[in-house]
Amino acid sequence: MRLLLVEDDVQMGPTLQNALSQAGYAVDLSVDGIDAEALGDIEPYDLIVLDLGLPKRSGLEVLQNWRNRNNHVPVVILTARGSWEEKVQGFKAGADDYVAKPFQTEELLARISAVLKRSSGTSGGPLQVAGLQLDEDAQSVQLSNGTLFTLTGTEFRLLRYFMLNPGQVISKSRLTEHVYEYDSDRDSNVIEVYVNRLRQKVGTDLIQTRRGQGYIFGSP
Amino acid sequence: MRLLLVEDDVQMGPTLQNALSQAGYAVDLSVDGIDAEALGDIEPYDLIVLDLGLPKRSGLEVLQNWRNRNNHVPVVILTARGSWEEKVQGFKAGADDYVAKPFQTEELLARISAVLKRSSGTSGGPLQVAGLQLDEDAQSVQLSNGTLFTLTGTEFRLLRYFMLNPGQVISKSRLTEHVYEYDSDRDSNVIEVYVNRLRQKVGTDLIQTRRGQGYIFGSP
DNA sequence: CGAATCAGGCTTAATTTAAGCTGAACTTAC
DNA sequence: GTAAGTTCAGCTTAAATTAAGCCTGATTCG
């Protein structure tokens, strides 16, 4: 799951980025409105955390521009506490949720997780697909026969992405984009290696190969 | 376990802070309502001790504002003895417990401990997880084989936080937030050092490392 | 039809990277 | 002076990545 964090505060930005990484997301950080707007259009983020008070171009404007261009990426905005106006404007502009500053990291994490679940159709409870149950607290997965596997960071992100998009052919480049932070364009077989490791844990049939196209998770 | 103590009395504030520290909490002290309100929103306290008679903004108001903003941190209020009204208003505003002034420190400690246990789902009796029994009075821990270890302050706070959140991956930054008082953002390996010391006492397997993610206490 | 070819995918082992561990020295508070 | 807390440096080890060779399914062509 790959996020864009748009936050110009030099203190808060990296701190949050770190916290989000630890929570198992791949996070890019952008520090101004123009840069953020471009990134949000180019990169396939699963969610964007958007501070409204930004240099160069306000967060609100950025958000409106995205929506005008039919970019419907889920957005959680960070508003000033008590600013009822900002919040309303934010929702009007197409935000999916908001967190008022100041906030606790755990609060933000909870909102992000909720929005992601909502936007993927699932609602509430642990992610449960195709006989697998993903435990986000323990970063582990339980099979239908009860066996429990712990997952490394990358395994976890990859599997979660599969489970959030079941029955859908997902190309390797799309996987790379969602599992890794910006850089990237790796000409390597990392994804294959990780698919292999996941298959060893959750079983071979759950992740099927579509030669030349990608993989498909949990589906006839 | 990290507390915020909100108490404007110059005598009582530091005295209580001291007592609470000795009892093994990391304690921040705030002396006015506005400051307290902000702190309570920003920092991830595990509990707040709130005097109702405060300068700048009344404790009641502060509490109401927190609850309105969906901040559900456990709160123990300090009310004037016999003031039935205050007590009722306090509960209405969302307090978890109250202690009437004047009180004995031990009374307050007991209430705090009770609220913490209640809010973490555990109820009654000493904290007992994964074969360990934590003695809050003596700041010591007993292993299932009977051996008893005394703990230093930091060891105690760390272990208690683990025991209150078993089976959950806890990042180092989260641990830092809950074990230390405000300042902090330490770029150091203190947590690692203390995990090491704890492991020497309670055994290696109880605190497992999830490389790149954090630690997980007492769980497969 | 079926053997040869080829490309994409799989798998395992080796290498690199960086997180975490730990003993000891140093600092601080009492 | 002592005990707790913190920092540091060298070491250990897991995770991430790369690379090489093998496997397999599709296609072509005799």
pLDDT of B220 higher than 60: no
| For range A66-75, the mean pLDDT | 93
Of the CATH numbers 1.10.10.10, 3.50.50.60, 3.20.20.70, 2.60.40.1930, which one belongs to the domain with range A127-217?
1.10.10.10
DSSP B147: -
Q: Is A184 on the interface with B (CB under 8 A)?
A: no
User: With pLDDT > 70 as the criterion, what percentage of chain A qualifies?
Assistant: 93
pLDDT of A143 higher than 90: yes
Statement: A2-119 belongs to CATH 3.90.76.10: no
The domains of chain B are located at 2-119, 127-217
Pairing label, strands A169-170, A207-210: unpaired
Strand partners, A5: A29, A49
The footprint of strand C (CB < 7 Å) covers: A 172, 189, 192-193, 195-196, 199, 209, 211-214; B 172, 189, 192-193, 195-196, 199, 209-214
Helix (H) or strand (E) segment spanning residue A203:
none
Q: What is the pLDDT of residue B49?
A: 96
Q: Is B38 on the interface with A (CB under 8 A)?
A: yes
User: Which residue's CA is nearest to the C1' of nucleotide D3?
Assistant: B152
**B124 — pLDDT class (breaks 50, 70, 90):** low
pLDDT of A184 higher than 60: no
Q: Report chain A residues whose CB lies below 8 A from the CB of B171.
A: 19, 22-23
Name B154's Cβ contacts closer than 8 Å, sequence gap at least 6: B179, B194
Q: What is the pLDDT of residue A119?
A: 79
pLDDT tens readout for residues A190-208: 999 999 999 999 999 899 9
Alpha helices in B138-215 (DSSP H): 153-164, 172-179, 190-202
pLDDT of A117 higher than 60: yes
Sequence-ordered strand ranges (E) for A72-182: 75-80, 97-101, 127-129, 132-135, 140-142, 148-150, 169-170
Q: Is A219 on the interface with B (CB under 8 A)?
A: no
pLDDT of A49 higher than 60: yes
Q: What is the pLDDT of residue B185?
A: 56
Selected residue with higher pLDDT from A207 and B121: A207
* Distance C21 C1' – B140 CA (angstroms): 24
Q: What is the pLDDT of residue B90?
A: 84
The model carries a pTM of 0.80
Alpha carbon distance A160, B132 (integer Å): 34
**B163 — pLDDT class (breaks 50, 70, 90):** very high
Q: What is the pLDDT of residue A124?
A: 62
For A99, the closest chain B residue by CA position comes to: B69
Q: Is the CB of B188 under 7 A from strand D?
A: yes
Helix (H) or strand (E) segment spanning residue B61:
helix B59-68
